[in-house]
Amino acid sequence: MKKDKIMKEDKTIKKDKIKRIIYARTFLALGGIYFILIIGFTIFQISQEKKAAGQELRTFAVSVNNAVENILKDNVDNNNRVTDIAKIKKEFIKETEFFTSSGSEVTVFTGNYELIFNTNHNYWLCSYTEYWEGSKQYIAYGYLNPGDWFSEKEVAELEKYLYTNQVSPKAKKEGDFLSYSLDLEGFWVDDGIIIPDKISVVALYVKTVINRDEKGNVKAATLNKENIATYVSNYKNTEGLPYFQDGNIYLRTNNNRNSKSRNELRQILTDKEILKEAIITLPDYSIKRMGPFNYHYYLPMPYQNSIRVLSEQNYYSEFWTVVGRNVNMWERCSTTLIFTWISCFIIFAVSALLLSEQTYKIYKEREELEKQRQEITNAFAHDLKTPLSIISGYAQNLLENIHTEKREHYASHILANVNRMAGIIQDMLEMSRLETKPFQIKYEDISLGELCSKIINRYEHICNDKAITASVEGDAVIKADNALITRVIDNFFINALDNTPQGGSIRMKILEDTFEIYNSGSHIPEDKLDEIWLPYKKADPSRSNTKGTGLGLAISRIILETHKFSYGAKNINNGVVFWFNFR
């Protein structure tokens, strides 16, 4: 008992180990395929996004170049020379929000590669009234570099006020906070650059609501103002710069304004040597990788989209507008990539699980088939061994003329055992034919009652010898193959005869949709009820007390499944019932 338990545990451990190996190999194989495909898709997606970003830059650069041309043509003479550099810079600064949209930077060069203007997002954009002409007000724009005039702490505080406006809650009623206003209280202008005297931070509160938007937020109102803080630059005007009284600092909406990558982009755009090299490759844009997902795009545009060829690889335009953009591919692709990675991972994981289960199932089926093959081979050899031994013994006696008076007895037993062996081989061939070759079912009307009566008459002498009572109850006409169904019921009856004790009974009952055959005797172990339908699987493991080939129920199973009839066996009081449903 202990040895059997140990062997059973060893088999379980072996199966678990094989299962783990199958699952591990399947997951590793599909995991490798997953990573290869994901890497390939990621590279492809980024390459497509790089092309898309380049096309977006080209479209944007055309718009920027048009805006630059509109400013230039109003501020150049007949020789395309800038008439008022300060004025033109103010005009360019006015367009800063447009020029720096989507992470872009813009520079403008003359045909001799002199820098006229460049965006600098580290600077604050300011507006002010340059002068009045009657009742008409002329607004000018300039850059303010806070780091030149205030400490890092002061700059951080000022920027906090600026960017609070982006996240502050919307005002709903009188008295609610609306926003901060950063006002220039006196400043000087030096070639488009603002030099502050004082910056006042003013908190704005709703005094009276004039208008609301669709969501009920305050859209227009009279205001209460509260001065929060004042910052002084302590600049001394020693150069006679023009002084102005009032101005405003605007919120810059672009992100990454002080990033290292953005600063590197500005340096590239202001380098005239890089511009000279890029002009040769026009109209293509250039891409420079700055990090795992960071790229700098660079594209120069000629004034009025025309170029003069001076010599080989030497081109000239009156002005050059250079547009650059810092593009983070992760920001552009992350949503698509993450969705693809996760969805593909789930698909591959589920596929690997299903494939592992199917592979393990096939392995178990093959193992079971191999086990059945070995059992069938052993059983077949066992069934042939006995008659062969008998034939060998009787043949030896005949050769040696032992008990010559029994020659007929020997011959008859040899013939009986040959016939038994022929029956075993015939059943094996029949089993093989039914399993491997599709066969045509010849459907016809069959009276089960009449068929059962014929079978009882066929085995009447055996029943009489064992004092077995055989009977049939009921009748039904079914559509089936007469020869095949006869084989099934015959096999059921032979099985019942083999397992019915002396003086027992066999009853065949035909119900509305079911055929049953009962035989008295011992029960079949519950764990064997499914196995008995397999070749050489008998309720009696020793097999020595039965005369059948062990293939009758297996052949019956194939025939019933071919007819699509359900079937089974069950233990009842004092006996066993085999059945099949013919509807």
Q: Is the pLDDT of residue 424 over 50?
A: yes
Average pLDDT along the chain: 85
Cβ 578 vs Cβ 517: under 8 Å: yes
Of 308, 307, 322, the C-alpha closest to 271 is 322
Q: Is the pLDDT of residue 540 over 60?
A: no
For residue 234, how many other CB atoms are within 10 A of its CB?
Answer: 8
The domain segmentation of the chain, as residue ranges, is 46-331, 439-581
Cβ 34 vs Cβ 342: under 8 Å: no
Mean pLDDT calculated for residue range 104-126: 88
Mean pLDDT calculated for residue range 545-571: 82
pLDDT of residue 256: 44
Chain centroid, CA 56 distance in Å: 31
* Angle between helices 482-499 and 552-562 in degrees, nearest 10: 150
Tell me the three state secondary structure of residue 170.
coil
- The sign of the CA dihedral 552, 554, 555, 557 is positive
The phi and psi torsions of 506 (rounded to 5 degrees) equal: -130, 125
pLDDT digits (tens, 9 = 90+) for 326-337: 888 998 899 999
CA distances from 314 to 264, 267, 308 (A): 27, 23, 9
Structure token pair of residue 221: 């109102």
CA distances from 514 to 374, 472, 574, 579 (A): 35, 13, 21, 7
CA dihedral 372, 562, 359, 9 (to 10 degrees): -40
Identify the residue whose tokens are 């206003």. 181
CA distances from 24 to 18, 31, 68, 393 (A): 10, 10, 63, 57
Mean pLDDT calculated for residue range 554-576: 91
Q: Is the pLDDT of residue 268 over 60?
A: yes
pLDDT of residue 448: 94
pLDDT of residue 497: 92
Of 451, 454, 546, 450, the C-alpha closest to 500 is 546
Mean pLDDT calculated for residue range 436-450: 83
Mean pLDDT calculated for residue range 277-303: 89
pLDDT digits (tens, 9 = 90+) for 132-163: 888 888 888 888 988 899 998 998 898 888 88
Rounded CA-CA distance 64/105 in Å is 10
Q: 438 preceded by cis ω (within 30°)?
A: no
Choose between 404 and 204: higher pLDDT: 204
CA distances from 157 to 164, 183, 225, 538 (A): 11, 14, 19, 92
pLDDT of residue 545: 42
Of 84, 113, 70, the C-alpha closest to 318 is 113
Quickly state the pLDDT bin for 122 (edges 50, 70, 90): confident
pLDDT of residue 437: 61
CA distances from 263 to 260, 286, 324, 517, 567 (A): 5, 18, 12, 94, 82
Contacts of 40 (CB under 8 A, 6+ apart): none
Helix extents (H) in 400-550: 407-436, 448-458, 460-465, 482-499
Structure token pair of residue 301: 């545009």
Q: Is the pLDDT of residue 391 over 90?
A: no
| Beta bridge mates, 205 | 177, 224
pLDDT of residue 577: 96
Give the whole-number percent of the chain exceeding pLDDT 90.
Answer: 39
CA distances from 311 to 109, 280, 315 (A): 20, 11, 7
Structure token pair of residue 177: 């906070």
Q: Is the pLDDT of residue 468 over 70?
A: yes
The phi and psi torsions of 306 (rounded to 5 degrees) equal: -130, 145
Rounded CA-CA distance 182/291 in Å is 36
Q: Is the pLDDT of residue 463 over 70?
A: yes
Rounded CA-CA distance 470/57 in Å is 96
Which fold is adopted by the domain 439-581? Heat Shock Protein 90 (3.30.565)
Rounded CA-CA distance 358/30 in Å is 15
Q: Is the pLDDT of residue 435 over 90?
A: no
68 burial via Cβ count (<10 Å: 0-12, 13-18, 19+): buried
Helix extents (H) in 105-212: 152-167
Cβ 117 vs Cβ 222: under 8 Å: no
For residue 130, how many other CB atoms are within 10 A of its CB?
Answer: 16
Quickly state the pLDDT bin for 169 (edges 50, 70, 90): confident
CA dihedral 274, 277, 281, 282 (to 10 degrees): 60
Rounded CA-CA distance 81/319 in Å is 10
Cβ 137 vs Cβ 129: under 8 Å: yes
Structure token pair of residue 109: 């060069």
pLDDT of residue 546: 45
Q: Is the pLDDT of residue 309 over 70?
A: yes
Quickly state the pLDDT bin for 544 (edges 50, 70, 90): very low
pLDDT digits (tens, 9 = 90+) for 178-213: 888 999 999 999 888 899 999 999 999 999 989 888
pLDDT of residue 255: 44
pLDDT of residue 560: 92
Q: Is the pLDDT of residue 383 over 90?
A: no
Q: Is the pLDDT of residue 98 over 50?
A: yes
Quickly state the pLDDT bin for 1 (edges 50, 70, 90): low
pLDDT digits (tens, 9 = 90+) for 503-534: 999 999 999 999 999 999 999 998 888 888 88
pLDDT digits (tens, 9 = 90+) for 29-65: 988 999 999 999 999 999 999 999 999 999 999 999 9
| Beta bridge mates, 579 | 516, 568
Q: What are the DSSP E strand ranges found in 38-135?
A: 104-110, 115-118, 124-133
Rg (CA), the chain: 50
Quickly state the pLDDT bin for 19 (edges 50, 70, 90): confident
Contacts of 466 (CB under 8 A, 6+ apart): 497, 500, 502, 503, 504
